Chain A
Amino acid sequence: MRAWFKSGTPWIWLNGGAIALCLVMVIGVLGLILVQGASHFWPSDLQQVSVKQADGTERKVLAELVRSEDVAASTLRESGVELPGDAKHYVRHLLKMGNRDVYGRDFAWFLDHEMSSWEIPTQAIVLERREWGNFYGFAVKLSENDQVIAEGDVDVWAKLPERIARANDIHAQIKQLEKTDISRINNGMEDLRLGLRKLQLNNASAAEIAAFEAQAAQERAALDADYAQIQQKLDDLNHQAARDTLVVRTADGKELSVSLSNIVHAHQPNAMSTSQKVGFYVNAIWDFLSEEPREANTEGGIFPAIFGTITMVILMAIIVTPFGVLAAIYLREYAKQGPVLKIIRISVYNLAGVPSIVYGVFGLGFFVYVVGGNIDQLFYAEKLPTPTFGTPGLFWASLTLALLTLPVVIVSTEEGLSRIPSTIRMGSLALGATKSETLWKVVVPLATPAMMTGLILSIARAAGEVAPLMLVGVVKLAPTLPIDGNFPYVHLDQKIMHLGFHVFDVGFQSPNVEASRPLLYATALVLVLLIIVLNMAAIHLRNKLREKYRSESD
């Protein structure tokens, strides 16, 4: 044993243990996100169980079992729960009961010993609603314009999906009208107001203003007429949407009616076969990726966040690529090599290690308030005091991130340039090419993979960065996407949603953490997948590049 210790083998094992632990942690974290994020969309069975209440009566609850845990009796007693017996541990279950409009809360813990007669009723339905979250219960009857057309579980279920599809169709039409036509009219009105204000600010003559006002009055009347028409259409649609009503019953016998216009989805998880469940699962994932959030981001999809993240990152890439590449070329090829350059190079490299929040502070102070404030004074004076660029927004977010990721691109490009064998360069120069020709036609094309690596790494970093974005343009809920059909199509001044910030906001600012937890994991999963794919691509590219030059320089 002593000799064994003396040989140092145990310490080698200990070092090996460290890396084993690291690997376990990485795989564990990724696995946790994967499992939690991907399992959310699976339609789990609804359990019906009767719970003994404090006054001794039994109450039936229909719910999804979220998780179970073992708690120490002392902890429970501390929080004021009365416990029979003197066991040291009790099992409790977290149930998602839904029906927030009926119960007031949709999640509750129940102690195992108070629960009995667990069953899985086949006819139980889940209604995913636009308001008040999910409903769990049983269908009673379905009526059209107050005429009952179906009664009982089976009948109702036979007619329900088709009618929900119709209601959703109408809902989509309403949304479409609101989003395109009404926003077009609002923009038109706003433009007229701003036009007048601009004339006033420019000290236009009274005649000019009068002419403009006359013109504006005409246009306004046209817009008003348009609006009236659209409003009429909307009223029509709303009326149609309210045609069907479903009456449902909760497990403990309360009945309530739900307008079909308020239902997104309905399904009977307990009656579904595995293949149906798989279909539902795929659908649910697609909905999650393509829909807008509802209920203060705790339900619905994350499409605006994905869209915002991607828009911002693309814009950042457009800014960072030319500057990063040119700066790297300058440092490597043109700048006079010497101690000053050495200092500059080290400084630039080190900026990659400066906390990202510092860039956020700089972005907010300099870009938003100083640069943006001045842009507003010069070009958007008519909109003041409402700021246009003098407030956090897409462009500033992209610019801040570009600054943040510049060192990454510079370092990577410089590395690529330095790996190009000097023989290639010499060859080009010897054939009479000028320095710039050598650079652009020989060196840069060879270094392209390195630049791509840098760019991908910077995109991966930008996509995951949140702290600076909180200051320069990301919000929890942006009413519209930064790219739409209204002039100028890309709205650089608009605030955007972002996957990372979405995770922060929903996880830590949301009133209903329990309800949003699965969504959080799912959002995190999307973000992690995006970043891992980008990083893998970068690593792959880098390795390929190294191989290539190893063979060329031989």
Chain B
Amino acid sequence: MQQTFETPATPRRSLLPNGEKRARLRRWRKVKDKLSQYGIAFAGISVVAAFATIFVYLFSEVGPIFSSASLEPEKQYASQSETPLLTNLERYSEVGMTLDAKGKLHFFSAADGNTIKDVNLAIPADRKIVSLAKGEPRSGIFALGLDNGQVLVAKHEYNLSYPDGKRQVLPMVTYPLGQEPLQLDAQQRPIQALAVQEGSTGTAIAVLTDDGRLSFNLFETETNLMTGESTFNRSEFALKDGPKTATHMLIDTTLHSLFIAEGNEKVHYFDIRSPGDARYVEAVNAVAAGQQVRQMEFLVGAVSLVIGGSDGSLGQWFLVRDEHNNFHLKHIRDFDKHPAAITQIEPEYSRKGFMAIDEQGHVGIHYGTSARTLLLEPMPGDIKPQRLAISPINTALLAFTQDGQVHRYTLENAHPDVSWKAMWNEVWYEGREHPDYIWQASSGSDEFEAKMSLVPLALGTLKAAVFAMMFATPLAVMSALYTAYFMTPKLRGKVKPTIEIMAALPTVILGFLAGLWLAPFIENYLSAVFAILVLLPVMMLIAAYLWRFVPEETRLRIGTGWEVAILIPVVIGFILLCVELSPLVDDTFFNGSLRQWLTDNGYSYDQRNALVVGIAMGFAVIPNIYSIAEDAVFNVPRHLTQGSLALGATPWQTMVGVVLPTASPGIFAAVMVGFGRAVGETMIVLMATGNSPVVNFNLFEGMRTLSANIAVELPETAVGSTHFRVLFLAALVLFVFTFIFNTLAEVIRQRLRQRFSNL
């Protein structure tokens, strides 16, 4: 034992590490410190960056729909026909085509102008082509009118094949009505103007001879089942009352109407539904007085006419049904005016857009539905195009000039079909009686006019949110006032978590209950629901009044702050009573069923309607509003309320006079947060409404909201299409809207907190 106290011969070694080691440790700790600092900073900044990415990315997806078109010269080469009557470019932009005055179809490589194939149409040697008509561009059909009353109809088509896995486009010419010209005018007069179109019943040709006789010819094809040979059945109908001269004639693809531009400002409309008694309907002034119609073409689908005037004006017209079920040619919209007379209108193949050129060499890219002019400038490359040919997928363009050159351009025009204006204003869609707000974004057909008005969706969103707020706000705010100020702390400790659980309920469950349980329930017990909504407060007041007559002893034993416990059975009892009495009420006043009575009296009633959504979504937003409002009220400094009470105010007077004014910004913030939530809620509206995009505030009809619309349509749409981007725009609108709302609410709350701490 004694040895332990001996001093060692050498000084005892320190238990601390030596200096070098400690320095190393210090360095290592410093490295760790820095590492942790930079690591955390990196993670933190990357999270913030990730959130910023959401915003940036949504913008980058939406941006392109507002950009305009661009046209870039690519190359040029010599053309084989100097003044082509007709030009074309096929789908893959590989083969171009021209038709010259002698009836030679020249197919050439669109890359370098080399000839691929020449086809001479069977025009008699001594005859001249005096008129030309084009049918629906996708069918490739065209007709040539000769100076002896003959007409030749041909089609240019392109066969695709993939020898050795490489695409090969083979142009070919077919003759749907035979290779030889048809003698359509028995008197052999030159054909002044003609129109050709393929319809479901056959091929139709309208001709106007130079002495002003107008006839309509329908060729019905019959195919012999045995031999496979086709024969035509021609029926000819003379049309009366028409103009004597014409520059352009057009027949629509249903073969129901014929339009004739007379050469002055007039366009005439014939109803040829039953060609036997075809009817001249009217003439309209398609351009300003004193000007002439220079060009007239159908947009794809052959419903809309685009009419270009000698003053450079461009207007869209189509047939509109009036109240007597008669069609009239109506002016729909104008496009930006060209500075000179229009020389060609080239419609797009798969959507309602078109290009136009004028005498001064300006090129314009316009779009029907959105009424946009995406480009209007002198043709890039400093040329004066005489004709255009646009690729069917709107990616390339051939311009043919007077000096026999072909200029190839790349065209960028991805999203002409929407504009900010068209999304928020009434638009006159093809086939509709009047301009309207419509959301109907997709369909299988190319001819379909996408209707992308955000108004029905925005209104639907607002409708759902407003009804939900009408239900939720009073309940949530009153609940918050009571819990924070009147309720005994013991009960408060139970009630608050219960309401918080309510916030956690998945909305898909609420939506499912709303759609499958609440909606049928409301339909069956509509009168009970209204009775509950209106009379329940009255019932509560009655209960409160009766409570005064309960023996004082009992009252004092229970004490204040327990009103809820007394009212719960009252609420349950009254609801059950209403439901029980509902059939009786219905029998007495509404002939058995209020819902049926509403329908009989002309109020449309959907089972899944705004009332259902209001209640279900109200239920979902109550806890959001409640917990923020409760916080605000609860945090009102006690000395304020105590002062008020000490001065003799009743608890309610204190509440109205002191607590409410102090906490009102917080309550307002709570309502804003609730509104933000209601606007963005998806599943409840998706499941509890019929999702029809209607524009009204009817309590008994459904709606389609922005969010539900995204959920329904985004998985189905093509990536990068206009529809896709418009849905992104909807998401962006929701994002920005709720973000602003929540930020405002947060700022208000922070201010309030500051104020409380100063009090």
Contact = CB atoms under 8 A, between A and B. Distances in A.
Interface string B582-601: 01001100011101100000
A205 B516 CA distance: 63
Nearest to B61: A365
A13 B543 contact: yes
B36 A436 contact: yes
Given A16-B564, A22-B622, A330-B41, A32 B513 contact: yes
B541 A464 contact: no
Interface string B2-39: 00000000000000000000000000011011011101
A357 interface: yes
A504 B592 contact: no
A312 interface: no
Interface in B547-581: 547-548, 563-564, 567-568, 570-572, 575
B162 interface: no
A329 interface: yes
B501 A532 contact: yes
B687 interface: yes
B572 A24 contact: yes
Residue of A436, A465, A528 most packed against chain B (CB within 10 A): A436
A323 B43 contact: yes
A354 B735 contact: yes
Nearest to B560: A12
Interface in B671-719: 673, 676-677, 679-683, 686-687, 707, 710-711, 714-715, 719
Contact of A403 (B50, B570, B677): B50
A124 B682 CA distance: 46
Interface stretch (B179-187, B281-289, B378-386, B475-483): B475-483
Given A18-B474, A18-B475, A26 B486 contact: no
A438 B655 CA distance: 46
B393 interface: no
Contacts of A535: 500-501, 504
A103 B537 CA distance: 50
Contact of A17 (B36, B501, B536): B536
Given A12-B652, A69-B524, A500 B506 contact: yes
Nearest to A17: B540
A199 interface: no
Give chain B's interface secondary structure class: helix
B603 interface: no
Given A20-B571, A355-B679, A26 B501 contact: yes
Given A72-B593, A504-B687, A12 B479 contact: no
B51 A72 contact: no
Nearest to B684: A467
Contacts of B482: 12, 15-16, 18-19
A186 interface: no
Interface size class of A (residues with CB under 8 A): 35 or more
Contact of B587 (A75, A89, A347, A460): A89
Interface stretch (A2-10, A239-247, A296-304): A2-10
B534 interface: no
B742 A406 contact: no
B505 interface: yes
Nearest to B738: A354
A19 B40 contact: no
Contacts of B731: 357-358, 361-362
A17 B586 CA distance: 27
B517 interface: yes
Nearest to A333: B40
Contacts of B572: 24
Interface in B706-757: 707, 710-711, 714-715, 719, 727-728, 731, 734-735, 738-739, 741-743, 746-747
A73 B719 CA distance: 52
Contact of A527 (B487, B509, B547): B509
B512 A346 contact: no
Contacts of B509: 33, 464, 500, 503, 524, 527-528
Given A330-B40, A357-B680, A366-B53, A349 B564 contact: no
B470 interface: no
A263 to B, nearest CB: 30
Contact of A353 (B44, B45, B677, B687): B677
A439 B36 contact: yes
Residue of B512, B545, B591 most packed against chain A (CB within 10 A): B512
Interface stretch (B108-116, B337-345, B491-499): B491-499
Interface string B512-544: 110111000000100000000000110011011
B30 to A, nearest CB: 7
A88 interface: yes
A95 interface: no
Contact of A326 (B40, B516, B564): B40
A433 B16 CA distance: 17
Interface in A458-483: 460-461, 463-467, 470-471
A264 interface: no
A255 B692 CA distance: 46
B592 to A, nearest CB: 3
A335 B44 contact: yes
Interface in A202-255: none
Give chain A's interface secondary structure class: helix
A48 interface: no
B592 A74 contact: yes
A366 B541 CA distance: 55
Given A12-B482, A69-B524, A350 B516 contact: no
Contacts of B92: none
A349 B534 CA distance: 38
A358 B729 CA distance: 10
Nearest to A368: B719
B511 interface: yes
A333 to B, nearest CB: 8
A14 B541 CA distance: 7
A464 B586 contact: no
A289 interface: no
B735 A358 contact: yes
B29 A437 contact: yes
A536 B564 CA distance: 23
B33 A435 contact: yes
Contacts of A73: 592
B124 interface: no
Interface in B389-435: none
B486 A16 contact: yes
A369 B60 CA distance: 14
Contact of A355 (B505, B510, B575, B680): B680
Contacts of A333: 40
A327 interface: yes
Interface in B295-344: none
A24 B715 CA distance: 38
B743 A350 contact: yes
Residue of A329, A358, A369 most packed against chain B (CB within 10 A): A358
B734 A89 contact: no
A498 to B, nearest CB: 10
A437 B506 contact: no
A102 interface: no
A201 to B, nearest CB: 15
Contact of B746 (A88, A346, A463, A520): A346
B19 to A, nearest CB: 17
Nearest to A18: B478
Nearest to B682: A467
A517 B567 CA distance: 33
A350 B739 contact: yes
Interface string A333-371: 111000000001011111101111111111011100110
B653 interface: yes
Interface string A510-524: 000100010010001
A358 to B, nearest CB: 5
8 contacts: A12-B486, A18-B475, A74-B593, A354-B738, A361-B58, A364-B715, A365-B58, A535-B501
4 nearest interchain CB pairs?
Answer: A8-B652, A355-B680, A330-B44, A464-B506
